[in-house]
Structure 1
Amino acid sequence: MLAEGARSVLVPVSRLYFRPTIEGREHIPRSGPVILAANHLSALDSFLIPLVSPRPVAFLAKEEYFTQTGAKGWLIRTSLLGVGAVGVPRGAHRAAQAALETALAVLQEGRMFGIHPEGSRSRDGRLYRGRTGVAWLALASGAPVVPVAVLGTEHAQPVGTRIARPRHVTVRFGAPLRFAPPAGSAGKARRDATDEIMDAIAALSGQVRAPGYNELSALQ
């Protein structure tokens, strides 16, 4: 009930504040498990996407965000619950695998899950190589992957700022991608699928491609 109440407030406020242009929502399947794979330019991305999606979307958020005390802690926790965030520990590889398993459980319930394959926010606006966790999820769950491009959030909330500014943003959903179980090497299948997903995100966002990974990412 708290989450529903928070969402009913956050959706109209976000539309007034960011005046989002939303494209391609018809590409999102109306039922069943779906993975939204998005570029990552700002902390605002995983907050905004669920508010413009036609279905609830669960993104992962650091567990400590849900346990902070005081008025600020309540506001953060309520906002995260309002956009369907799921708390997970962050850090080592074991924590990263646990995060993927949490995401898989969301998909197995027939829900939508959002992920940023780059792992961390781009500091220079380029689109970095995707981590293969997104493909692991797609192959393990059988869920289609909808590529997503978020544009303008780096100006609304630049890296290092805590308060979002009123700026126009665009959220663009692409046609779903589907991946069959691998016939050969699972590692190669995950790499190939991830590259295809990142190509689709790049086509939607128009970002310059970076040749490697965003090394600031904690998730490998």
Structure 2
Amino acid sequence: MEASLATVRRAVFRLAERGAALSALYHRARLVGAEHVPAQGPVLLVGNHGVWGYETPAFFHLLHRATGRWALGLAERGFFRIPVIRTVLPWLGGVEGTKDNALAALKQGALVVCYPGGAREVFKRPPGRYQLRWEQALGFAHVAARAGVPVVPFAGFGVDDTFLFPPGEAKLGVRLTDEEKYRVPLLVGLGPLPFPVRLTFALGSPHMPPPAGASESRLRAFRDRVAASVHRLMVMARHA
């Protein structure tokens, strides 16, 4: 039974990687600044999320091609309420986005990708294009400080242009947490395909976090510095 499951997992992963490579090719995707990712050792990548999170496979594919490292993604915790996603996402390099999971992965030397905007950025409406919805998010700052690992900021451009939004408000809603229900916008592309816009991902210089046990004010200042770097990288990616 375990051998059969392992075979299925490998097959699903290979299929997903082929899909990611095709997505990168379709969007002429490129990655700049890969030299900021160390060849080994724990590192936390923090950046903006595109609409519906569609860009993530292409980004992870480019990271692996440029660095030889497979990224581990911290996924919105609410998605793990959905049985199929809860089963398959870990096969593809996604784990529930908790501090404990992030710390455990970093302790093992992983390359961890975090989107502090989570579902707020995934289900954004057009007025929110290329705006960080980090709200009061401090999770990644706490994790980086406790783990003592560098935070590499990144930004994606083109990630909010892959689909158009029909007029009118989204009527479909999804509840990913007990506190928040997100309106899911309808998307329109070239039939079933997204628009073939170019995707550009830019990575910046690492930020070293404050020490473990740092005050909330220092953690907020660190978060704001990383956010400012992501904004600058968006401009760079736009003109790259």
| Short-chain TM bin | 0.7 to 0.9
Is contact 1:51-1:83 (8 Å) kept?
Answer: no
Pairwise mapping of residues 17-28 of structure 1 onto structure 2 (< 5 A)? 17-28=26-37
Which one has more relative contact order, counting CA pairs under 8 Å at least 6 apart?
Answer: 1
Equivalent residues of 2:46, 2:154 under 8 A apart: yes
Give 1:137's aligned residue: 143
After superposition, residues 1-150 of structure 1 pair within 5 angstroms as: 1-2=10-11, 4-6=13-15, 8-42=17-51, 43-53=53-63, 54=67, 55-61=69-75, 62-65=79-82, 67-68=83-84, 80-81=89-90, 83-87=92-96, 99-119=98-118, 120-121=120-121, 122-123=124-125, 124-128=128-132, 130=134, 131-150=137-156
What is the identity percentage for the equivalent residue pairs of Structure 1 and Structure 2? Answer: 25
CA distance in 1, matches of 2:149, 2:205: 13
CA contact 1:118–1:129 (8 Å) conserved in 2: yes
- Of residues 187, 194, 198, the one that matches 2:216 is 187
Does structure 2 retain, via aligned residues, the 8 Å contact 1:2–1:82?
Answer: no
Query: Which runs of no fewer than 5 residues in structure 1 stay unpaired?
Result: 89-98, 208-220
Q: Distance in 2 between matches of 1:82 and 1:38?
A: 23
Q: Give the AA of the match of 1:205.
A: M
SS in 1 for 2:31: strand
C-alpha distance 6-82 of structure 1, shift in aligned 2 (>3 A): farther
Aligned residues: 188
Query: 2:160 is paired with a residue of what secondary structure?
Result: helix
CA distance in 2 between partners of 1:45 and 1:197 (Å):
21
Query: Structure 2: any 5+ residue segments left out of the alignment?
Result: 1-9, 165-184
Contact 2:152 2:205 (8 Å CA) reproduced? yes
Provide the TM-score with structure 2 as the length reference. 0.68
2:208 aligned partner: 178
Q: In structure 1, give the amino acid aligned to 2:159.
A: T
Task: Provide the aligned C-alpha RMSD in A.
Answer: 2.7
| Residues 182 and 141 of structure 1, relative CA distance in 2, 3 Å threshold | closer
How far is 1:41 from its partner?
2.8
SS of the equivalent of 2:202 reads strand
User: TM-score, structure 1 length as denominator?
Assistant: 0.74
Look up the match of 2:177.
Answer: none
Aligned partners of 1:64 and 1:129: how far apart in 2?
Answer: 22
